[in-house]
Chains A and B, each alone.
Chain A
Amino acid sequence: MKLHLTLSILLVFNLWGWSQQCTHVLTGEINDLHDHSPLQGAQIWVVGTTFKATSDAQGKFLIQGLCTTTYELEVSHPECSTQFKTVRISGDRSVQITLEHHIEELEEVLVTAKASKTNSAAEYNLGQESIEKHAGGSLGDALKEINGVSSLNTGGTIVKPIINGLSGSRVLIMNQGVRMQDMEWGEEHAPNVDLNTAGNIALIKGAGALEYGGDAIGGVIITEAKRVVPKDSLFGHILLNGATNGRGGNTSGGLTKSFSNGIYAHIQGSYKYMGDTEAPDYVLSNTGVREGAFSFQLGKQGYKQGFEFYYSYFKTKIAILKSAHIGNTDDLIDAINNAEPNYIAPFTYDIGKPYQDVAHHLVKINYYRRFEGLGKWFIQYDFQRNHRLEFDTRIGDNRDRPSIDLQLDTHTWRTYLQWKTSENFALKTGVNAGYQDNFANPSTGVKRLIPDYNKYDFGFFATSEYYWRPNTTVDAAFRYDFNRIDAKKFYSKSRWDERGYQEDFGDDIIGEFGNRWLVNPVLDFHNFSFSTGLSHTWEDGKSFRFNYTLAQRAPNPSELFSDGLHHSAARIELGDLRMQQETSHKFGLSFAKEQGPFQYELSPFVNLIDNFILLEPTGTQLSLAGAFPVWTYRQTAARLLGIDLSASYDWTGQWQSKHAFSLVKGTDTDKNIPLINIPPVRFNNGIIYQIPQWHGLQLELDSAFVFEQNETPPNIWVFSPDQQQDVELKINDAPGAYHLLGFGARATFPLGKRKITAHLRVDNLLNNSYRDYLNRLRYFADDMGRNTSLLIRYNF
Chain B
Amino acid sequence: MKTSIFRKGLTIAAVALLFQACSSDDNAPGDVHDEELITTITVTLTNGGNTITLVSRDLDGPEGPNDPEIDISGPLATNTTYNGAITLLNEAENPAENITEEIEEEDEAHQFFFSTSGSVTGTGYSDQDGNGNPVGLSFTLETGAAGNGTFGLVLRHEPKKPNDGTLADAGGATDIDQTFNVAVQ
**How far, in whole Å, are A239 and B178 apart by their CA atoms in the complex?**
55
CB of A367 closer than 8 Å to a CB of B: yes
Does the CB pair A327–B20 fall under 8 Å? Answer: no
Q: Beyond A396-B106, A515-B92, is A621–B9 a contact (Cβ under 8 Å)?
A: no
CB of A565 closer than 8 Å to a CB of B: yes
Shortest CB-to-CB span from A510 to chain B, Å, is 7
**How far, in whole Å, are A383 and B6 apart by their CA atoms in the complex?**
18
Does the CB pair B171–A343 fall under 8 Å? Answer: yes
Q: Residues of B contacting A411 with CB < 8 Å?
A: 16, 20
Of the candidates B13, B62, B67, B92, the one having the most CB atoms from chain A within 10 angstroms of its own CB is B62
Shortest CB-to-CB span from B53 to chain A, Å, is 16
Closest residue of chain A to B56, judged by CB?
A: A624
**How far, in whole Å, are A572 and B61 apart by their CA atoms in the complex?**
12
Q: Beyond A395-B109, A492-B64, A510-B28, is A446–B175 a contact (Cβ under 8 Å)?
A: no
CB of A677 closer than 8 Å to a CB of B: no
Does the CB pair A393–B66 fall under 8 Å? Answer: no
CB of A328 closer than 8 Å to a CB of B: yes
Does the CB pair A624–B34 fall under 8 Å? Answer: no
Does the CB pair A328–B158 fall under 8 Å? Answer: no
Interface-located stretch among A207-215, A221-229, A437-445: A437-445
Does the CB pair B60–A492 fall under 8 Å? Answer: yes
Does the CB pair A395–B36 fall under 8 Å? Answer: yes
Size bracket, chain B contacts: 35 or more
Does the CB pair A488–B157 fall under 8 Å? Answer: no
Shortest CB-to-CB span from A535 to chain B, Å, is 36
Q: Residues of A contacting B94 with CB < 8 Å?
A: 514
Q: Residues of A contacting B30 with CB < 8 Å?
A: 442-443
Does the CB pair A488–B65 fall under 8 Å? Answer: no
**How far, in whole Å, are A327 and B157 apart by their CA atoms in the complex?**
9
Residue-by-residue, is B129-162 near A (CB-CB < 8 Å gives 1, otherwise 0)? 0000000000000000000001010101110000
Does the CB pair B63–A395 fall under 8 Å? Answer: no
Option from B9, B150, B177 in Cβ contact (under 8 Å) with A381 = B9
Does the CB pair A393–B157 fall under 8 Å? Answer: yes
Option from B5, B152, B156, B174 in Cβ contact (under 8 Å) with A367 = B5
CB of A238 closer than 8 Å to a CB of B: no
Option from A365, A383, A490 in Cβ contact (under 8 Å) with B31 = A490
Option from A445, A489, A513, A621 in Cβ contact (under 8 Å) with B34 = A445
Does the CB pair B32–A445 fall under 8 Å? Answer: yes
Q: Residues of A contacting B177 with CB < 8 Å?
A: 327-328, 330, 624-626, 721-722
Closest residue of chain B to A328, judged by CB?
A: B174
Interface-located stretch among A27-35, A146-154, A242-250, A448-456: A448-456
Option from B58, B106, B171 in Cβ contact (under 8 Å) with A395 = B106
Does the CB pair B29–A452 fall under 8 Å? Answer: yes
Q: Beyond A398-B36, A447-B32, A452-B29, is A494–B12 a contact (Cβ under 8 Å)?
A: no
**How far, in whole Å, are A267 and B82 apart by their CA atoms in the complex?**
72
Q: Residues of A contacting B35 with CB < 8 Å?
A: 398, 445
Option from B24, B38, B171 in Cβ contact (under 8 Å) with A625 = B38
Q: Which of A418-445 contact B (CB under 8 A)?
A: 435, 437, 440, 442-445
Does the CB pair A515–B28 fall under 8 Å? Answer: no
Does the CB pair A447–B6 fall under 8 Å? Answer: no
How many A-B pairs have beta carbons closer than 8 Å: the answer is 166
Q: Which of A607-636 contact B (CB under 8 A)?
A: 621-626, 628
CB of B119 closer than 8 Å to a CB of A: no
**How far, in whole Å, are A572 and B175 apart by their CA atoms in the complex?**
15
Does the CB pair A624–B41 fall under 8 Å? Answer: yes
Q: Residues of A contacting B66 with CB < 8 Å?
A: 494
CB of A342 closer than 8 Å to a CB of B: yes
**How far, in whole Å, are A494 and B65 apart by their CA atoms in the complex?**
6
Shortest CB-to-CB span from A175 to chain B, Å, is 20
Shortest CB-to-CB span from A408 to chain B, Å, is 14
Does the CB pair A624–B176 fall under 8 Å? Answer: yes
CB of A564 closer than 8 Å to a CB of B: yes
Does the CB pair B61–A327 fall under 8 Å? Answer: no
**How far, in whole Å, are A123 and B150 apart by their CA atoms in the complex?**
63
Q: Residues of B contacting A445 with CB < 8 Å?
A: 32-36
Q: Beyond A331-B173, A494-B60, A721-B177, is A623–B29 a contact (Cβ under 8 Å)?
A: no
Does the CB pair B29–A565 fall under 8 Å? Answer: no
Q: Residues of A contacting B32 with CB < 8 Å?
A: 442, 444-448, 490
Q: Beyond A365-B12, A494-B64, is A325–B173 a contact (Cβ under 8 Å)?
A: yes
Option from B13, B34, B65, B158 in Cβ contact (under 8 Å) with A495 = B65
**How far, in whole Å, are A515 and B66 apart by their CA atoms in the complex?**
13
**How far, in whole Å, are A57 and B9 apart by their CA atoms in the complex?**
45
Q: Residues of A contacting B179 with CB < 8 Å?
A: 721, 724
Shortest CB-to-CB span from A410 to chain B, Å, is 11
**How far, in whole Å, are A626 and B175 apart by their CA atoms in the complex?**
8
**How far, in whole Å, are A621 and B68 apart by their CA atoms in the complex?**
10
Shortest CB-to-CB span from A164 to chain B, Å, is 35
Q: Residues of B contacting A369 with CB < 8 Å?
A: 6
CB of B39 closer than 8 Å to a CB of A: yes
CB of B105 closer than 8 Å to a CB of A: yes
**How far, in whole Å, are A156 and B82 apart by their CA atoms in the complex?**
50
Does the CB pair B175–A435 fall under 8 Å? Answer: no
Does the CB pair B28–A623 fall under 8 Å? Answer: no
Q: Which of A362-395 contact B (CB under 8 A)?
A: 365-367, 369, 379, 381, 383, 393-395
Does the CB pair B29–A326 fall under 8 Å? Answer: no
CB of A14 closer than 8 Å to a CB of B: no
Shortest CB-to-CB span from B30 to chain A, Å, is 4
Q: Residues of A contacting B33 with CB < 8 Å?
A: 445
Q: Residues of A contacting B60 with CB < 8 Å?
A: 492-495, 515
**How far, in whole Å, are A285 and B51 apart by their CA atoms in the complex?**
46
Closest residue of chain B to A448, judged by CB?
A: B32
CB of B59 closer than 8 Å to a CB of A: yes
**How far, in whole Å, are A396 and B102 apart by their CA atoms in the complex?**
6
Does the CB pair B65–A498 fall under 8 Å? Answer: yes
Residue-by-residue, is A386-416 near B (CB-CB < 8 Å gives 1, otherwise 0)? 0000000111101000000000000101000
CB of A796 closer than 8 Å to a CB of B: no
Q: Residues of B contacting A448 with CB < 8 Å?
A: 29, 32
CB of A475 closer than 8 Å to a CB of B: no
CB of B22 closer than 8 Å to a CB of A: no
Q: Residues of A contacting B106 with CB < 8 Å?
A: 395-396
CB of A541 closer than 8 Å to a CB of B: no
CB of A307 closer than 8 Å to a CB of B: yes
**How far, in whole Å, are A513 and B102 apart by their CA atoms in the complex?**
26
Q: Residues of B contacting A443 with CB < 8 Å?
A: 30
Shortest CB-to-CB span from B181 to chain A, Å, is 9
Does the CB pair A624–B39 fall under 8 Å? Answer: yes
Shortest CB-to-CB span from A74 to chain B, Å, is 19
Q: Beyond A307-B5, A398-B35, is A622–B24 a contact (Cβ under 8 Å)?
A: no
Q: Beyond A395-B106, A444-B32, A448-B32, is A331–B68 a contact (Cβ under 8 Å)?
A: no
Q: Residues of B contacting A622 with CB < 8 Å?
A: 58, 67-68
Does the CB pair B28–A331 fall under 8 Å? Answer: no
Residue-by-residue, is A509-522 near B (CB-CB < 8 Å gives 1, otherwise 0)? 01101110010000
Does the CB pair A451–B29 fall under 8 Å? Answer: yes
CB of A100 closer than 8 Å to a CB of B: no
Residue-by-residue, is B1-33 near A (CB-CB < 8 Å gives 1, otherwise 0)? 010011001001100110010001000111111
Q: Residues of A contacting B12 with CB < 8 Å?
A: 365, 381
Q: Which of A267-325 contact B (CB under 8 A)?
A: 305, 307, 323, 325
**How far, in whole Å, are A327 and B174 apart by their CA atoms in the complex?**
4
Q: Residues of A contacting B2 with CB < 8 Å?
A: 305
A-B residue pairs, 10 tightest by C-beta = A327-B174, A626-B177, A623-B62, A442-B30, A498-B65, A452-B29, A445-B35, A327-B173, A342-B171, A396-B102
Interface contacts beyond A490-B31, A494-B64: sample of 5 additional A-B pairs, CB < 8 Å, sorted by A: A327-B173, A442-B32, A511-B28, A515-B92, A572-B63
Show 8 residue pairs from A and B whose CB-CB distance is below 8 angstroms, ordered by the A residue.
Answer: A327-B175, A395-B109, A396-B105, A447-B34, A498-B65, A621-B65, A623-B63, A722-B177
Q: Point out residues on B near A: beta carbons under 8 Å.
A: 2, 5-6, 9, 12-13, 16-17, 20, 24, 28-36, 38-41, 56, 58-68, 92, 94, 102-103, 105-106, 109-110, 150, 152, 154, 156-158, 167-168, 171, 173-179
